[in-house]
Structure 1
Amino acid sequence: MLPHSNPTPEATLVGRIWRPGIGPCLVRLDGDRVVDITSTALPTLHALLETPDPLDTARAAPGTPVTTLAELAGSSSPDAGSDALRLLAPPDLQAVKASGVTFAASMVERVIEEQAAGDPDRAAAIRVRVGRVIGDSLSGIVPGSPKAMQVKAVLQEEGLWSQYLEVGIGPDAEVFTKCQPMAAVGWGARVGLHPISSWNNPEPEIVLAINSRGDILGATLGNDVNLRDVEGRSALLLGKAKDNNASCAIGPFLRLFDADFTLDTVRAAELSMTVKGSDGFILDGRSSMAQISRDPASIVAQTIGRHHQYPDGFFLFLGTMFAPIQDRDATGQGFTHHQGDVVTISEAALGSLRNSVFLSTDCPEWKFGTAALMKNLAKRGLL
């Protein structure tokens, strides 16, 4: 499977690749050709997104074809070496943020995780009780609205109010740091699970690109790998549940907004996901952005503003409605990953993000950070 099959040739797709003997390069996808557009004016994706008009700049940037999409996909394997030609995650200097509990379905599952204290054996019975009380009362609710406050009062009376419902239907969104700049992995790479976890799942999401001015410039796909047992024990373990070696995947490319691809397109996007295990297990799931409880622009506004600046911009995961409950290993325990699972997240306008699941300790160590990037660019005469 290729990372992208572009039905609209006018789409502007940019990203980053690793070129052997050179390092990280800014690229544009021209049909099936991967064109290196790195220059002193555009040494990084950050530099592109900070220009007055990133779309026109990306389209007009001169470049050199270096490979085809098929060749790039073939070399972007889970076992690719550190100097192999491969796709990288699009962000470089940007912070990588994520918003949680933005869909009613995921809100309910977070409540179940909390009630079960991270124990999957207890989840099925709690799911029945929570479903009986909550029902469809969260469907279509506007966070922070009078109706939301009425639902909050009912749930409190039933003893089911949760910190997850607070950020799900309360006025304030949950926004956290998913990983450090350049810690995300790209298409084809291994994604990692912390070895202490035995109840975990992928989270297919759309990821927005925002510059330092707060402009929402484009979108890509992401896998916000989640450790349900760790976060379920305590929300204060969110960092341990979310930020581990190779626990964030983004890609394949960033599609820049234009007249035909806008934030409204994102609002109507339909994501699909398939998990295939070496044991023959197959899990199919979907996440419809039309069912998001918080508007993407609202989440961005809660993230950046006078209260918080991002001088290098940021990428923002928008959350998912996907919360797998299909049993895999035992009745009532729901889904959890096996090592070697292949996760493919797809959306018609954004292509496909494919990664293989391993323990974080079995994924390549993250060693190329901001200091390494600056040294690399300086050595190449790009700074």
Structure 2
Amino acid sequence: MAQVNGAVASGLPHDWRSGRFVGRAATADGPIPLLVIAGEAFDMSAVAPTLSMLVEAGDLSGAGGRSLGALDAAGLELLSPVDLQCVKACGVTFAVSAIERVIEERARGDWSAAAAIRERLEARVGGSIRSVVPGTAEAAALKSALIEDGLWSQYLEVAIGPDAEVFTKAPVLATVGPDAEIGIRSDSSWNNPEPEVALLVNSRGEAIGATLGNDVNLRDFEGRSALLLGKAKDNNASCSLGPLVRLFDDTFTIDDVRHAEVRLNIQGEDGYVLDGVSNMAEISRDPLDLVRQTLSEHQYPDGFVLFLGTLFAPVQDRDDVGRGFTHKIGDRVTIESERLGRLTNRVVTSKDAAPWTDGIGALFRNLVRRGLLSTGK
């Protein structure tokens, strides 16, 4: 990965000078939509004051933008690369994560019971759930067998049934970007990062690019009840994206997403280190099918970003034998993929993370003050 100089501390892909990217950057006056073409950064705020408006306009050639020079010399501070887009997420799209969700449910959020349940489930359904295609006759037969064995779960329904799990991860403008603090609830004792690829989709349902994300999960909350999904998923600073959205073109396509390798590294202040690698080729549902299901009976006039799910459910013991993994304050979480770059965040509690204070109203007031948005429009 190349490291960008100046205030941008997140890594970009090795071939970032030949790719095309969109994102957002902070300035003294306010956020700007950013376009990067062949290594050159453009402030596009005079063309479209928000990233969503830039994407919806459809012209990503850089015309009308103000050149900021080479990205590695521009001294930019990158923000989360989305603004007015809805933040959606898919869960249980990998076999391993499906098994881990069932473990959470059966353990009722109690980490001490997880190891024994994991061993039984892996022995019974590990191979079959990895090979079955969701929504097929074979999946229905597996469902019947698991019901007879008393092993059926609502998580297996979305893992191998016809309908994917799609939920709203965070409010508009609530995501954080590279090098920001990322939050877990202060009353959670069993949680983990969820390193994922996320697609940027416009209002017409077209996936136009991809980025990295951390869809933080609280295993104890969701394990106690699936109805606690909102508390497990949507908390202050609990969703990070970045560093930039790589646009699809002749050099980077949806097939690169389908075969992307995603790496995870966690470094704790206690000396704990966890490394992992996952391959998007193991996903149970095609990324574009997940986009289709998200759009099946809903419209997104400002577009949306869609987390595609994670293979990671860390089980490497951290403290007690059999306890598996949970975050500690100060953990440094790095998610990396060759064509998308590197996203790093430091873990704090959601109470201690920087409060979310600038919502949609604040953004539009800022744009009006800067003359980028007329009150008459």
TM-score range, shorter chain: over 0.9
C-alpha contact (below 8 Å) 2:16/2:38 kept by paired residues: no
- The partner residue of 1:140 within 113, 120, 131 is 131
Return the offset for 1:290: 0.1
Which residues of 2 match residues 62-101 of structure 1 at below 5 A? 62-65=65-68, 68-69=71-72, 72=75, 86-101=77-92
Match of 1:15?
Answer: 23
Please tell me whether residue 171 in structure 1 is matched to residue 177 in structure 2. Answer: no
Return the offset for 1:31: 6.0
Return the offset for 1:196: 1.1
Aligned equivalents of 2:64, 2:98: Cα separation in 1 = 43
Match of 2:34?
Answer: 27
C-alpha contact (below 8 Å) 2:33/2:54 kept by paired residues: no
- The partner residue of 2:52 within 46, 59, 74 is 46
C-alpha contact (below 8 Å) 1:272/1:287 kept by paired residues: yes
- The partner residue of 1:339 within 329, 338, 363 is 329
Aligned equivalents of 2:98, 2:356: Cα separation in 1 = 32
Residues 258 and 32 from structure 1, CA distance in 2 versus in 1: closer, same or farther, beyond 3 angstroms? closer
Aligned equivalents of 1:240, 1:67: Cα separation in 2 = 42
C-alpha contact (below 8 Å) 2:109/2:220 kept by paired residues: yes
Q: What do residues 22-76 of structure 1 show as CA deviations (whole Å, max 9, x unaligned)? A: 111111235665432221x311111121123x4xx2444432317854775xxxx
Return the offset for 1:9: 2.5
C-alpha contact (below 8 Å) 1:225/1:248 kept by paired residues: yes
Q: Which amino acid is the alignment partner of residue 321 of structure 2?
A: T
Return the offset for 1:134: 1.0
C-alpha contact (below 8 Å) 1:204/1:287 kept by paired residues: no
Residues 119 and 161 from structure 1, CA distance in 2 versus in 1: closer, same or farther, beyond 3 angstroms? same
- The partner residue of 1:122 within 90, 107, 113 is 113
CA RMSD of aligned residues (A): 1.6
Which residues of 2 match residues 194-213 of structure 1 at below 5 A? 194-213=185-204
SS in 2 for 1:122: helix
Match of 2:146?
Answer: 155
C-alpha contact (below 8 Å) 2:19/2:37 kept by paired residues: no
**Number of aligned residue pairs:** 365
Please tell me whether residue 327 in structure 1 is matched to residue 311 in structure 2. Answer: no
Aligned equivalents of 2:256, 2:276: Cα separation in 1 = 20
Aligned equivalents of 2:111, 2:64: Cα separation in 1 = 51
- Gaps spanning 5+ residues in structure 1: where? 73-84
Aligned equivalents of 2:338, 2:154: Cα separation in 1 = 34
Aligned equivalents of 1:144, 1:106: Cα separation in 2 = 18
Residues 8 and 86 from structure 1, CA distance in 2 versus in 1: closer, same or farther, beyond 3 angstroms? closer
TM-score with structure 1 setting the length: 0.92
Identity over aligned residues, as a percent? 54
In the TM superposition, structure 1's runs of 4+ consecutive aligned residues that sit over 6 Å from their partners are none
Return the offset for 1:374: 0.7
C-alpha contact (below 8 Å) 1:272/1:345 kept by paired residues: yes
- Gaps spanning 5+ residues in structure 2: where? 4-9
C-alpha contact (below 8 Å) 1:100/1:175 kept by paired residues: yes
Aligned equivalents of 2:325, 2:118: Cα separation in 1 = 14
SS in 2 for 1:165: helix
Residues 70 and 252 from structure 1, CA distance in 2 versus in 1: closer, same or farther, beyond 3 angstroms? farther
Residues 15 and 233 from structure 1, CA distance in 2 versus in 1: closer, same or farther, beyond 3 angstroms? same
